[in-house]
Structure 1
Amino acid sequence: MILVTGATGLVGSHLIVKLLQEKEEVKAIFRDKKSFTAVENIFRFYNADNLFEKINWIKADITDIPSLEEAFKGVTKVYHCAAFISFDPKDEDELMKVNLEGTANIVNCCLDFNIEKLCYVSSVAALGDPLDTQIIINEETEYNPEKLHSEYSISKYAAEMEVWRGFQEGLKVVIVNPGVIFGYGFPYNGSSTFIKAIKKGNPFYTKGKFGIIAVEDVVNCMITLMKHNINGERFTLVAENPTYEKILNLVAETLKVKKPFIYASKSFLSFAWRFDWFLSLIMRKKRILTKATSKALHSTKEFDNTKIKETLNYHFIEIDDYLKKLLKSF
């Protein structure tokens, strides 16, 4: 029996479809049945409606140990996909509670229930910080806590430390560090914010780079890594490192809307994140732009996918064609 946390999210929902298609028995954690609608849409997307009823749904919360103990009964492998994603510094407590404390609970349950193997979905945000003279980030790049990081990055890095603790205590683990994940479903969350921004007429662009990957690639790599005799390893999951300008233009062209036409320079963003902080303070609204995110928008660093490609002999989906097909659903 396989347990999937975060089963009602983008990665988790696509993952359970694939697992069920491979005849695996799946337990899936949920907190609110309202989220089932999005998952059912994913199953319809794969023409796998009949498999939805095969899911063994368990109402639980990764921050609530008693509910997890019930979920772990009869389980042999765990995919930990649950996470809280926010780049607003005001959400620091929630980020640490869900991402750090929640992951520590999962690791402890894995040890207590003698789980065979754990796959943890981390993020490229938890990868290291290259020297100023370097442009490549890989699994071995050292994380520098003295550098500027978002609260999300810090929480995911801390969560990885809990997974490595479990590894030291005898738990078999594998960690994946995906870039920005695109995929069908959840049009109002995550990577879909790129698409929403362009549809609303966002005029700004930068030439910074970011890692990008299709959700199908993330899921395929996770399942294959769990089947292999791979233990105590982490893998960067990034298909390409395009510029924000390229992706925003591709979205605009496909949707037949106006392309971003104002270059947001470093100095412009330096003013913008401070102004956004001021607005959030007086209007008590969530931050749209922070110092860390404004810095990331101009980063020219690239994420190296050599390790996963060579380990699994894996070939990633070509992003341009994938996004054009995905955008039809919008």
Structure 2
Amino acid sequence: MILVTGGTGLVGSFLLAELSRRGLSVRAIYRSEMPSAVAGMQPVEWVPGDLRDGLGLRSALEGVTHVFHCAGLVSYAPQDEEELLRINVEGTANIVDACLERPGIRLGYVSSVAALGGGAAAAQREQVTTEPLRIDEQSQWDLGAEHNAYATSKYLAELEVWRGISEGLQAVMVNPAVVLGPADWHRSSTRLFRYAYDEHRFYTPSSLNLVDVRDVVEMLASLTLDTNRSGERYVLSAGRWPLAEVLGLMAAGFGKRAPTVAVPGWAAETIWRLEHVRSLLTGARPLITRDTARAGRRPLAYQADKIRHELGREFRPLSETIRWCCQELAQA
């Protein structure tokens, strides 16, 4: 029996499909409204629950052999800082504690490349060279550097998993880059597709590290179900591409016009400051924050050699991923 948290999110929903393909019995937690059945998938046992409800999690773990913890909040809005800690850190601590009470359970945790740090070093590197800073699983979190709230929450959540491992929990972690997949237009990375679909003219001269959601769930499932590895984490990234190229491929996939006007760095700095003032005055969430304005400009390249070597497989090409996403989104 498999328990999945975050089954309604991008990674979680595709993981449910992967587990169904394997013919496994799956239980998944939902918070508000129980999702409807998906055609072609084996029935999922949906149970109500909340990551902050330790007793409820213990009940959900009854009879479970493997847990995939995919639930989490992704936000760079200043007003979400406390919620990031509650969901990502406290929620993960509760999952770990519940698993520790049932010896023999294996945990597969979906972290993020944000938890690897490197932002401060990349910012310094940006001043002297455009060559990207290469980051892998051995990269150290710089405690003295400034980190955004999301990255900090994922780093602290990883510490909870490491704590569980030190107490005997069998667990592996994956650190995906920006995950691409067909999902809600207005959520997560899928907003990039919407931006291209709407034929916006502007783009920033930045780069993104990207990975196909199908690669994420297949690799996560293989590590957790098909191996006995524990106390390891794995970067999942197919590569690094300029944002202009990514948006161009997305626009082409929809038969739309690609963005053509590059926004200089100083303009992005001005825009996020104006958005910050607007959010303070209106209470609305900012469309762009300091972290999102600067993230892509930092020369970071996440290295996935470890997962390639251990599983003996490659990532899907970016062009194939974007073509698939555009087809799925156009039919939705």
TM range (shorter): over 0.9
Q: 1:222 to 1:184 in 2, by over 3 A?
A: same
3-state DSSP of counterpart to 1:211: strand
Aligned to 2:181, which of 183, 186, 193? 183
Give the TM-score of the pair, scaled to structure 2: 0.91
Q: Report deviation, 1:195.
A: 1.2
Q: Is the 8 A contact 1:96 1:155 kept in 2?
A: yes
The equivalent of 2:83 in structure 1 is 94
Q: Is the 8 A contact 2:117 2:151 kept in 1?
A: no
The equivalent of 2:30 in structure 1 is 30
Q: Is the 8 A contact 2:182 2:190 kept in 1?
A: no
The unaligned stretches of length 5 or more in structure 1 are none
The equivalent of 2:150 in structure 1 is 152
**Larger deviation, residues 137-146 vs 70-79:** 137-146
3-state DSSP of counterpart to 1:269: helix
Q: Is the 8 A contact 1:81 1:121 kept in 2?
A: yes
Q: Distance in 1 between matches of 2:164 and 2:10?
A: 26
**Larger deviation, residues 297-306 vs 197-206:** 197-206
Identity %: 34
Q: Distance in 1 between matches of 2:205 and 2:251?
A: 16
Q: Report deviation, 1:251.
A: 1.2
Q: Report deviation, 1:61.
A: 0.7
The equivalent of 1:208 in structure 2 is 206
Q: Distance in 2 between matches of 1:77 and 1:234?
A: 17
Q: Distance in 1 between matches of 2:82 and 2:282?
A: 21
The equivalent of 2:74 in structure 1 is 85
Q: Distance in 2 between matches of 1:197 and 1:98?
A: 28
RMSD (Å) for aligned C-alpha atoms:
1.6
Q: Is the 8 A contact 2:205 2:264 kept in 1?
A: no
User: What is the count of residue pairs matched by the alignment?
Assistant: 319
Q: Is the 8 A contact 2:183 2:190 kept in 1?
A: no
Matches within 5 A, 1:111-130: 111-129=100-118
Query: Quick one: which amino acid aligns to residue 287 of structure 1?
Result: P
Q: Report deviation, 1:253.
A: 2.1
Deviation string 1:24-54 (CA, Å, 9 cap, x unpaired) is 22111111235x14xx4xx44xxx14x1x2x
Q: Is the 8 A contact 2:76 2:292 kept in 1?
A: yes
Aligned to 1:107, which of 96, 99, 102? 96
Q: Distance in 1 between matches of 2:310 and 2:189?
A: 27
Query: Quick one: which amino acid aligns to residue 15 of structure 1?
Result: L
**Larger deviation, residues 9-18 vs 254-263:** 254-263
Matches within 5 A, 1:208-227: 208-226=206-224, 227=226
Q: Report deviation, 1:23.
A: 2.1
Deviation string 1:130-158 (CA, Å, 9 cap, x unpaired) is 74456101111111133332211111111
Q: Distance in 1 between matches of 2:186 and 2:289?
A: 21
**Alignment pair present for 1:58 and 2:47:** yes
Q: Distance in 2 between matches of 1:241 and 1:207?
A: 13
The equivalent of 2:56 in structure 1 is 67
Query: Quick one: which amino acid aligns to residue 169 of structure 1?
Result: E
